[in-house]
Chains A and B, each alone.
Chain A
Amino acid sequence: MTKRGYRSMVEGLETSRRSFLKLGGAVGAAMLMGNPAAWAAKRVEKGAPKPARPRTNIDEALAVPRGPHALPGPFPGRVTEVHDAAALTGDGKPVADAVRAMFERGLAELAGETPAAAWRRFFTPDDVVGIKVNPVGAGLISTRLELVDAVVAWLEAGGLPRGNIVIWDRFDYMLFDAGFTPERYPGIDCVGLQTMDEAAYMDPDGDQGGWLRADGTHVSAGEFDPDAYYWAEVEGPQRDAADPHKDVAAKQYLNQHVFNGEHSYFGKLLTRRLTKIVNLPVVKNTGNGISVATKNLGYGAVCNTGRLHQPLSFEVNTEVLAFPWVRDKLVLNVADGLVAQYEGGPMPNAEFTWPLSKLFVATDPFALDRVCHDLLVAKRREMGIAVNEHPIFTEYLRYGERLELGVADPERIDHRRV
């Protein structure tokens, strides 16, 4: 893909249909009189102007014809929420059998068929299936091993060889810290797209050999596909020999993000090895938004993401998922809501976690995120946490709907509880 693109998304903030209905009828002349009673009847229908954003190469993603398994998959807008109060022990540990039963119930309700039949809908025995976990906050809010076990059991029961399963995340050390190791999963590859040298990060003047090659490249540079990238017109910090502070910041950035230019390359694991992806995010907030299905891949499938947080934020969740290496391979999302976090995310914050004892199953990650967004907003209200429901925090979901990657309109989401 070449270095081109059009100005990405943002068609203005739209007041939802629900808001229109709530605000209701009497408009117009009364409002012009300027009294509070008239204002109360006024409905808000003004859109926001388009803010300037960095250009991206989203048009190139959209130009690629969709594959047979392209998002939003066979069940657009459908989200199955499974609850079992017995899924956690009294001290908050997952109960493996209960989790497996929840997964199978959720899958059956989603697909309207047995788990075995659902397997045949998504896979063939030749597939190489990547299970994307979220290992941040190991032990507290990371994807539970018991859920991964349930998915692995389902994949194997359908006829997928164990050697065709890969458990993966962007960072190898986080994956291992969260318990996704070869010892725990014999016969299954546990793969981080990249490494990061934490000791070198802490001591930028010390030994950098853990991540930096003599030729100045990152040891993980070869793990990313130079021909498959998300381009955005913004760079990470650049090395600067004349400014030691800037130079250290750039070195730390490169250690963590592999590259610091305008390209975020997809991992070769996605572009060359995996044929299908099962996404197992957790249910947690990130500021006023959430970090669930779309963010787990939006910021997890590519490198050099630090530069994207401020200027593009949630848009990255949508645009990265529009590229064929995710769009055409992501067949199932199972959000781990056994324990969820409503405040303090995306980093783990025990003060704000609670035992939810739920799984959320969907082929459509945007509908799943919409359901989880509303759930976390409701929990924040219940707990007296400040809530800002400005449309900007869910605009990326509507953007996904405009790109036909999923359903974001709550009125059109088929939310099933079992």
Chain B
Amino acid sequence: MAGPARSRWGWLVLLLAVVPCAAAEAPAGWRLDGAPRRFVGRDLYGHIDGGAELFHEFGFVDLLVSDYTRGDTALTVETYRMAAPEAALGIYLAKCGREKPRPGLAARHTANRWQVTALRGDVFLLVNNPAGDEALLPDMLALAAAALADVADAAPAPLLDALPAAGRAPGTARLLRGPIALAPLFTLGAGDVLGLAGEIYAVAARYGEGEAGHLRIVVPYGSRRRARDAFRGLRRGLDPTLEVLASGRRAFVFSDYRGRFGRARLEGDTLTILADMAEPPDLD
């Protein structure tokens, strides 16, 4: 798209980005308690000090925190609007744990008496129940449904398709867009050692079970040159606890601090890393 049309669409996108989400309509018997609190951009640190980095890495737009009360009972809804459905999915996968959906909420979610964690389009949503009262779960689900009612159900790009389905451990798939999301999985090196630059999505999952299992990270860079540069950058910036055991032009095998093994291999525009393996893989 070019010229004036692009300009108009650009303004529309900008307008949508700055219009805050509205608080959800309260279910019967509940009322909105006070004005919702909105956190934009870096302000998120004021709400989740120590946990905001992951949201920023994926692309955070704003957060609306709304309190609802019924008598002495309180529920809080946190509506995180992310930059794209993929960003919201990345946060959801990092936070949801083993999904246990309940009837009454059409969106992808997991729920227990303390919290509903949900995803729709570019919104990641939490409904918190500080008292942990099981009887409030239907109200929590109703609040989640109300908060998501006006959110467009845009599907994220099928990024996870880059991971082989066979052998993938349920509930372990993750999206990565930088070092914060990578950190819980494996330490390959300092900083953005995969060269994702906040632009490229990598995907990761565990395969197999326990000590016999391993971690697979797949990074489709979209261009051979970028993938090659990233491969070289990884080789240069490899964590000091990882020792390269064998190396070729497009792959290297390493051991880690636990005496387990891994391999980074470049194929076309894609870098595939296997890590935390019980036995060393072949170089090719």
Binding site for B on A (CB under 8 A): 13, 15, 19, 22-23, 31, 34, 36, 39-40, 42-44, 46-49, 51, 91-92, 138-140, 201-202, 249, 252, 256, 286-288, 306, 309, 343-344, 346-347, 349-353, 381, 383-392
Contact = CB atoms under 8 A, between A and B. Distances in A.
B97 interface: yes
B64 interface: no
Question: Interface of chain A, helix or strand or loop or mixed?
Answer: loop
Interface in B201-219: 206, 210
Contacts of A44: 241, 243, 255-259
B282 interface: yes
B253 A39 contact: yes
Contact of B132 (A43, A140, A249): A140
A19 B257 contact: yes
Contacts of A353: 114
Q: Pick the 5 closest A-B CB pairs, nearest first.
A: A350-B114, A48-B240, A23-B259, A390-B187, A350-B115
A386 B256 contact: no
A42 B260 CA distance: 10
A386 B185 contact: yes
Interface residues of B, number: 55
Q: Most B CB atoms within 10 A — which of A49, A249, A384? A: A384
A49 B261 CA distance: 21
A17 B133 CA distance: 47
B37 A384 contact: no
B184 A287 contact: yes
Nearest to B38: A202
Contact of B97 (A256, A352, A389): A352
Contact of B240 (A40, A49, A138, A347): A49
B136 to A, nearest CB: 12
B184 A202 contact: no
13 contacts: A22-B258, A39-B253, A39-B255, A47-B240, A49-B240, A139-B130, A201-B46, A343-B97, A349-B115, A350-B112, A351-B114, A353-B114, A388-B186
Residue among B114, B130, B253 having the largest count of chain A Cβ atoms under 10 Å: B114
A36 B259 contact: no
B246 interface: yes
Given A287-B183, A346-B50, A351-B115, A36 B280 contact: yes
Contacts of B117: 351
B259 A46 contact: no
B198 interface: no
B42 interface: yes
Given A46-B240, A48-B240, A343-B97, A92 B132 contact: yes
A347 B48 contact: yes
Contacts of B42: 249
Contacts of B258: 19, 22, 44, 389
A351 B110 contact: yes
Given A13-B257, A256-B46, A351-B112, 16 more contacts: A15-B241, A15-B257, A36-B282, A39-B261, A42-B245, A44-B241, A49-B240, A92-B132, A202-B37, A252-B46, A286-B50, A351-B115, A384-B169, A386-B206, A387-B184, A390-B257
A355 to B, nearest CB: 11
A344 B183 contact: no
Contacts of A40: 261, 279-280
A388 B253 contact: no
Nearest to A196: B46
A353 B210 CA distance: 22
B172 interface: yes
A384 B97 CA distance: 8
A307 to B, nearest CB: 12
Contacts of B259: 19, 22-23, 42-44
Nearest to A253: B45
Contacts of A287: 183-184
A139 B73 CA distance: 13
Contacts of A385: 97, 184
B255 to A, nearest CB: 6
A286 B245 CA distance: 33
A196 to B, nearest CB: 10
Nearest to A245: B42
Nearest to B185: A386
A388 B170 CA distance: 18
B171 interface: yes
Contact of A140 (B37, B114, B171): B114
Contacts of A381: 210
A19 B132 CA distance: 41
A379 B204 CA distance: 21
Contacts of B96: 351
